[in-house]
Amino acid sequence: MRSKPTRASSTDVADAVGLERDLRLVGQRVIRHDARDKVTAATAFAADWAMPGMLHGVVLRSLYPSARIKNIDATRAASMPGVAAIMTAKDVPRNTLWTDVPGQTTAVGSLRAKLHVLAEDRVRHQGEPVALVAAETEEQAREAAEAIAVEYELLPGVFDPAQALEPGAPRVHEEGNLLAHWRVCHGDVAAAFARAAVVIEGDYRTQFVDAAYLEPESGVAWIDSDGVITIRVSTQVIEHFRDVAEVLNVPQNRVRIIGTYLGGGFGGKEDVTVEVYLGLLAWKTGRPVKMVWSRQESLLARAKRHPFRLRYRTGALRTGQIVAQEIELLADAGGYAYLSALVLLYATVTAAGPYRVPAVSVDARVAYTNNVPTSAMRGFGAMQVVFGYESQMERVARALGLSPVEMRKINALSRGDTLPVGQVVDTHVALPELAERAWAALGELTPPRAPHVKIGRGLACNFQPYGRIVWLHDWSSAWVGFEMDGSLVVRSGVPDVGGGQASSLCQIAAEVLGVPLEQVSVYIADSALTPLAGTTTASRQLYMSGNAVLKASRELCEQLLKAAAAVLGVDRDAVGLADSAVRTADGRSLPLPELLHACSRMGVPRSHLGVYHAPAGEPVDLEKGAGKVFPDYTYGAHAAEVEVDTETGVVKVLKLVAVHDVGRAINPLSVEGQIQGGAVQGLGYALMEDVVVEKGINMTTSFASYLIPSAVDVPDVRAIVVESGEGLGPFGARGIGEPPIGPPAAAVANAIEDATGARLSVLPLTSERLARALGLM
């Protein structure tokens, strides 16, 4: 099957604001500047960097998931050849990294999540950093790290979040194992269940998975000639310069982070990775230091996606209308908090799905264990719950004899509805259309290739917030300015994770300012030299920094056109910028360089700094359902066709159609790429990916044992881009980074049930699990 990307404006969005037409570059399938650099391998990734006199840094990690550190003896290691520095917790000026988590419930209390830079008197998970070594070569550094004698006293551990919450469980942290607890209580759930004609109960489990970007965590740090600690690193968050400064106890303006183009992030490079260690070693030795984590190290110790246990009880009327959802979530945080409380908040807010449900209760908890820590990963809690709510939707539809599409149409949210947390949906929801189109695009049913092979189809929808929680008061800034020759410069502190974040900014600026895309240079992700733009996380960068660039470009356009009108002696309304020139209504033109020189003479600035503030709000009490939590949501529908070998339980996905209302596709090539790539990550989650952790020991620390989809494991995903123009981003765009990863697991599970009658409720949906469900073993 050839992938046939389809792009069409939404036809069923009568109440949408409509798309701005007559755009020259926005909406075009433009070739990204970074792609040109990448096909020639000109891009210098973080590990493709070297400095004269550079040392190599490594991390010594805990062998055990739960132990007391009785003593660390580094005398032998320190005397080994090439060793320049060894650091343990006592050598770190401030050994704690903090994450503020807003709005905890009284059950837990307010929380400042903390993490030790290096372990002090105990370790809480296998792979926890214990010591640092810098040496002349990486080999010498590794040998010295192995020679550090760490005396451990093993402690009892707890490896299951339910057991962690039982009385008497070993305490991972002094304050207890309940890390966060969120509740939603909306409507009279008991009364609603009493009205229901059908009640379906489900108990689902999802697994640990790894972000598995192909580029391991890496960077180089040096003390620059001005004394500033400078760290060139692969990160989604250049604002971690503040964390490095905090740890080193130096002013924040003495640390600079230069973010590289990333070899993938997917949330795994949102928390700090190597930058704090690099900062410490460069500060300690005064020399440049490089640190590259191995794949095995990354798989062993980096934060994973949270495993969830999801219990659903869903009540519906005979008509198919869902009247009640009772949901219990329990997630595994592993040994440290990282962003777990926020991930759980996303899950709590989205747990009932993109549906109008009059009565909802959610009780969500996340507990510390001595497993590998969990934190941000594409989808951020709003993903795990899709497997729960879309499995339930399918089962209710089957119980009532409704088609999957009808079931979604009956229950889909629409503008004006209120989410269980009290947020009013104030943009268009194209869900019925998305579901219809996904289902229809599956086309003819594939005939089974043998009598024991069964074909089935499944549908799953989702919604994913884009932009940060409104009470975090998110903002971004961008500088747009012309050089004297009419070439354009964009500066914004945006990390580009590979999604085309930087290129989209160029498209927007070039569109507004009437220059060819080739005349734009963009400088990104330098905490000292580019205006700060916030994190490349939460599907926020196009929305936030796209708006900042749009604002800067429009203001710049306005100040230049005012000057042009004065130069040409016409009204402001009679001039415009196009093809690198000022054009007047009466057919005259003034080349841009001439206008720019005139601006210099007149004292009119040739640049503008734009700051975009997202709609902000005060923290809401989720339980009481008081208001807005996220700026907006992106909606999607995926339809899958699978073949199941009923003699072996082997599942093959034959077709996957992924439809999302992206508001507006700035670059359809990039949007389709996000959808196809996200959906394939979702298929990996559905079918094969599984970080196996046994009593805290990670059994899958290589790409030979932690399997991600290869080209032969997945079909070509057909991406269908719907544009309602209803997003809060530039030109009506919505975020599309995270949303496509959500639906595949549920769509495949629903298709397997369609093919075989067997309902699988534990991810991944392996042939072994299906064989058991089919009674084959």
Partner 1 sequence: MIATFSINGRTRDVDVQPNQTLLDVLRDTLGIFDLKEGCSEGVCGACTVLLDGRPVSSCLILGLSARRRRIMTVRGLAGDGELHPLQQAFLRHGAVQCGFCTPGMLLTGLAFLERHPNADRAAIREALAGNLCRCTGYAKILDALEAYARELNGRG
Over the window 244 to 273, marking each residue x when it contacts partner 1 by CB under 8 A and - when it does not, the resulting string is -----------------xxxx-x-------
Binds partner 1 by CB under 8 A, chosen from 228, 574, 609, 708: 708
Residue 71 engages partner 1 in binding (rule: CB under 8 A): no
Residue 738 engages partner 1 in binding (rule: CB under 8 A): no
CA 393 – CA 750 distance, rounded (Å): 10
In 3D space, the residue among 474, 595, 606 whose CA is nearest the CA of residue 543 turns out to be: 474
Binds partner 1 by CB under 8 A, chosen from 12, 45, 609, 652: 45
Element (H, E) at 751: helix 744-756
Residue 238 engages partner 1 in binding (rule: CB under 8 A): no
Binds partner 1 by CB under 8 A, chosen from 129, 157, 495, 678: 678
CB atoms within 10 A of CB 103: 19
CA 122 to chain centre: 31
Residue 43 engages partner 1 in binding (rule: CB under 8 A): yes
Q: How far is the CB of 679 from partner 1 (least distance, A)?
A: 6
CA 409 – CA 438 distance, rounded (Å): 13
Nearest to partner 1 of 214, 602 (CB atom): 214
Residue 199 engages partner 1 in binding (rule: CB under 8 A): no
Residue 442 engages partner 1 in binding (rule: CB under 8 A): no
Specify the 3-state DSSP secondary structure of 120: coil
Nearest to partner 1 of 361, 676 (CB atom): 676
Residue 716 engages partner 1 in binding (rule: CB under 8 A): yes
Q: How far is the CB of 288 from partner 1 (least distance, A)?
A: 15
Binds partner 1 by CB under 8 A, chosen from 344, 488, 595, 679: 679
Nearest to partner 1 of 315, 500 (CB atom): 500
What torsion do the CA atoms of 76, 79, 83, 88 make, to the nearest 10 degrees?
50
Binds partner 1 by CB under 8 A, chosen from 205, 295, 759, 772: 295
Binds partner 1 by CB under 8 A, chosen from 44, 107, 440, 445: 44
Q: How far is the CB of 87 from partner 1 (least distance, A)?
A: 24
β-sheet bridge partners, residue 547: none
Residue 673 engages partner 1 in binding (rule: CB under 8 A): yes
Instruction: Report phi then psi at 494, rounded to 5.
Output: -90, 120
Binding residues for partner 1, rule CB under 8 A, total 57
Residue 474 engages partner 1 in binding (rule: CB under 8 A): no
**Contact status, residue 720 vs residue 659, Cβ threshold 8 Å:** yes
Helix axis angle, 431-440 to 404-411, nearest 10°:
170
Q: How far is the CB of 222 from partner 1 (least distance, A)?
A: 17
Binds partner 1 by CB under 8 A, chosen from 167, 712, 775, 777: 712
Nearest to partner 1 of 385, 680 (CB atom): 680
Binds partner 1 by CB under 8 A, chosen from 47, 276, 662, 758: 47
Over the window 212 to 231, marking each residue x when it contacts partner 1 by CB under 8 A and - when it does not, the resulting string is xxxxx---------------
Nearest to partner 1 of 137, 414 (CB atom): 137
Element (H, E) at 451: none
Query: Which tokens in the block code for residue 56?
Result: 């190599």
Residue 641 engages partner 1 in binding (rule: CB under 8 A): no
Angstrom CA distances, 157 to 127, 257, 299, 361, 699, stand at 15, 37, 21, 32, 17
Which string of DSSP letters, residue by residue, matches 369-427?
Answer: -SSPPB---TTTTTTHHHHHHHHHHHHHHHHHT--HHHHHHHHB--TT-B-TTS-B--S
β-sheet bridge partners, residue 591: 581
Angstrom CA distances, 498 to 140, 443, 525, stand at 34, 32, 13
CA 761 – CA 745 distance, rounded (Å): 10
Residue 670 engages partner 1 in binding (rule: CB under 8 A): yes
Residue 710 engages partner 1 in binding (rule: CB under 8 A): yes
Q: Which stretch binds partner 1 (CB under 8 A): 156-164, 577-585, 595-603, 699-707?
A: 699-707
**Contact status, residue 273 vs residue 213, Cβ threshold 8 Å:** no
Residue 41 engages partner 1 in binding (rule: CB under 8 A): yes
Over the window 650 to 669, marking each residue x when it contacts partner 1 by CB under 8 A and - when it does not, the resulting string is -------------------x
Nearest to partner 1 of 139, 558 (CB atom): 139
Applying the rule CB under 8 A, the residues between 487 and 506 that interact with partner 1 are 497-500
Query: Which tokens in the block code for residue 33?
Result: 């500047």
Q: How many helices (H) and strands (E) does the chain have?
A: 18, 31
CA 416 – CA 569 distance, rounded (Å): 49
Q: How far is the CB of 668 from partner 1 (least distance, A)?
A: 9
Residue 590 engages partner 1 in binding (rule: CB under 8 A): no
Helix axis angle, 275-285 to 241-248, nearest 10°:
40
- Give residue 732's region: left, alpha or beta (phi > 0; psi -120 to 50): left
Nearest to partner 1 of 627, 740 (CB atom): 740
Burial class (CB in 10 A: 0-12, 13-18, 19+), 423: buried
Specify the 3-state DSSP secondary structure of 721: strand
Nearest to partner 1 of 91, 716 (CB atom): 716
Instruction: Report phi then psi at 125, rounded to 5.
Output: -155, 155
Nearest to partner 1 of 50, 440 (CB atom): 50
Applying the rule CB under 8 A, the residues between 19 and 38 that interact with partner 1 are 29, 31-32, 34-38
| Segments in 175-254 forming alpha helices (H) | 189-195, 241-248
Q: How far is the CB of 502 from partner 1 (least distance, A)?
A: 12
Applying the rule CB under 8 A, the residues between 333 and 392 that interact with partner 1 are none
CB atoms within 10 A of CB 380: 27
Nearest to partner 1 of 261, 466 (CB atom): 261
CA 620 – CA 423 distance, rounded (Å): 10
| Residues making contact with partner 1 (CB under 8 A) | 2-3, 29, 31-32, 34-41, 43-45, 47-48, 50, 212-216, 261-264, 266, 292, 294-296, 497-500, 669-670, 672-673, 676-681, 702-704, 708, 710-712, 714, 716-717
